[in-house]
Amino acid sequence: MPQKLVDGFERRVDYLRLSVTDRCNLRCTYCLPAEGFRFLPHEDVLRYEELLRLVHIASGLGISKVRVTGGEPLVRKGILGFLERLCALTEIRDVSLTTNGVLLESLAEELWAVGVRRLNVSLDTLHPAKYAAITGVDAFWKVWQGLCAALDRGFSPVKINVVTMRGVNDDEIEALADITRSYPFHVRFIELMPFQPEGYEERYLSADVVMERLCAMGTLVPARSENGNGPARYYQFLDAPGKIGLISPMSHHFCPSCNRLRITAEGGLRTCLFSDRHVDLRGPLRCGCSDEEIAALILEAVRKKPQRHHVNDGPVFQRKCQSRPMTAIGG
Ligand code: SAM
């Protein structure tokens, strides 16, 4: 595949995060604002045909990995058929899915059948009551059963994404890490990003603090990440079947190796999670532009990909991400 997506800082862009919806069946406190957020009208959301066309065009430019995300991708009607068509695209060598796992137990078999093999599942706590407090829904056991169903079915890796928050789940760092001693999950601790700036300063916990706590649990050895250039640094307890990942977008940003693009549910192309800048692809898709014209828009956006984000340049209390919550961008 020709690699035409190289930005102004010599970074090769080969990874696309594709948001298929901004809707979600959870209301995580750090992700969706308690009020004032309006979901997109259905007609503004890209149709599956449009998403597949964009993937096809992007693959011609060098995109070879696609992660389907949202909102919650599994709540969108017809998602299995879409994933099947996406997995069938020979030019895309890796399709993965990020989900909150609430619907995973019932869909694990079908996800496998359509060709998905890699899953990221969000789970911030092992306490059902705390899960309900964070997400607004009493669904801890559903997610846990979904995770077990995914392992049983053979998905690999199954990654558990934990957003670490002081005073919320920092008392569970050891218990969450301990899961990797019994199960082959990759438990990844992710620094809170200031999409909801209220209370951010009190809740932010750096990955360094998490690492100190993990080191006190036993010998941790660096582990290989299966994908090479992802943002996580991986470790493993001796003889543990699982791995531990640390993702530190705030304290040690990984912009120099950023290889990704995002397309939002309404077709906004974003080259940086933290930037409000986007290029509208839905308009051109719907007004008859050719594949070449759309490819030119993608190339131009990548050429202007920012060198790095500046969200953590100031003091913690001043940190604030752009105007959109994560669910509207695609995490
Ligand atoms: N619904 C799916 C899920 O829950 O995984 C996919 C979308 S969700 C927006 C993707 C990821 O973004 C989740 O792992 C979530 O924890 C993470 N996320 C959302 N807001 C965040 C924030 N403020 N800081 C760090 N991670 C965040």
Query: Which ligand 1 atom lies nearest to the CA of residue 162?
Result: 16
pLDDT (tens digit per residue) in 40-73: 999 999 999 999 999 999 999 999 999 999 999 9
Return the pLDDT at 87: 98
Contacts of 99 (CB under 8 A, 6+ apart): 72, 73, 74, 119, 120, 121, 122
Of all protein residues, whose CA lies closest to atom 10 belonging to ligand 1?
331
Give me ligand 1 centre to Cα 246, in Å: 15
Burial 67-76 (b: 16+ CB within 10 A, else e): bbbbbbbbbb
Rg (CA), the chain: 19
Residue 223's Cβ-side half-sphere holds a number of Cα atoms within 13 Å equal to 23
Return the pLDDT at 225: 77
Of all protein residues, whose CA lies closest to atom 17 belonging to ligand 1?
331
**Alpha carbon separation from 13 to 78, 231, 275 (Å, rounded):** 29, 14, 17
Give bridge partners of residue 189 from the DSSP assignment.
162, 246
Which of 225 and 25 is assigned the larger pLDDT?
A: 25
Q: Helix, strand, or coil here: 87?
A: helix
Give me ligand 1 centre to Cα 99, in Å: 9
Of all protein residues, whose CA lies closest to atom 12 belonging to ligand 1?
331
- What confidence category does residue 307 fall into, taking pLDDT thresholds of 50, 70 and 90? confident
Residue among 163, 189, 327, 329 to mutate when testing ligand 1 (max atoms within 8 A of CB): 163
Whether residue 310 is predicted with pLDDT greater than 70 in this model: the reply is yes
**Could you give the CA distance from residue 226 to residue 118 in angstroms, rounded to a whole number?**
11
Which of 147 and 253 is assigned the larger pLDDT?
A: 147
Whether residue 125 is predicted with pLDDT greater than 90 in this model: the reply is yes
Mean pLDDT calculated for residue range 245-273: 92
- What confidence category does residue 254 fall into, taking pLDDT thresholds of 50, 70 and 90? confident
Return the pLDDT at 271: 93
Mean pLDDT calculated for residue range 290-302: 97
Return the pLDDT at 328: 73
Of all protein residues, whose CA lies closest to atom 22 belonging to ligand 1?
193
CATH of the domain spanning 15-329: 3.20.20.70
Return the pLDDT at 119: 98
- The chain-wide mean pLDDT, for the chain, equals 93
pLDDT (tens digit per residue) in 98-108: 999 999 999 99
Domain locations in the chain? 15-329
Whether residue 93 is predicted with pLDDT greater than 90 in this model: the reply is yes
**Could you give the CA distance from residue 23 to residue 100 in angstroms, rounded to a whole number?**
12
Whether residue 9 is predicted with pLDDT greater than 60 in this model: the reply is yes
**Could you give the CA distance from residue 27 to residue 35 in angstroms, rounded to a whole number?**
10
Give me ligand 1 centre to Cα 31, in Å: 6
Reported pTM? 0.94
Give me ligand 1 centre to Cα 326, in Å: 6
Going by C-alpha positions, the residue among 314, 328, 301 that lies closest to residue 21 is: 328
Q: At what angle do helices 140-153 and 128-135 cross, to 10 degrees?
A: 100
Give bridge partners of residue 180 from the DSSP assignment.
none
Share of the chain above pLDDT 90, in %: 79
Residue 218's Cβ-side half-sphere holds a number of Cα atoms within 13 Å equal to 12
Whether residue 213 is predicted with pLDDT greater than 60 in this model: the reply is yes
Name all residues whose Cβ lies below 6 A of ligand 1.
24, 30-31, 69-70, 72, 98-100, 122, 161, 163, 190, 192-193, 195, 326-327, 331
Mean pLDDT calculated for residue range 259-275: 93
Give me ligand 1 centre to Cα 287, in Å: 32
**Could you give the CA distance from residue 20 to residue 267 in angstroms, rounded to a whole number?**
9
Return the pLDDT at 313: 72
Give me ligand 1 centre to Cα 165, in Å: 13
253 by Cβ neighbours in 10 Å (0-12 / 13-18 / 19+) ranks as middle
H or E, element range at 51: helix 48-61
Return the pLDDT at 274: 81
**Alpha carbon separation from 329 to 40, 96, 258 (Å, rounded):** 12, 17, 17
Query: Which ligand 1 atom lies nearest to the CA of residue 30?
Result: 23
Query: Which ligand 1 atom lies nearest to the CA of residue 327?
Result: 9
Query: Which ligand 1 atom lies nearest to the CA of residue 100?
Result: 4
Give me ligand 1 centre to Cα 69, in Å: 9
Contacts of 322 (CB under 8 A, 6+ apart): 274, 275, 276
Give me ligand 1 centre to Cα 292, in Å: 33
- Return the beta strands (E) in the chain as ranges: 15-19, 65-69, 94-99, 118-122, 158-164, 186-191, 220-222, 233-237, 243-247, 260-263, 268-270, 279-280
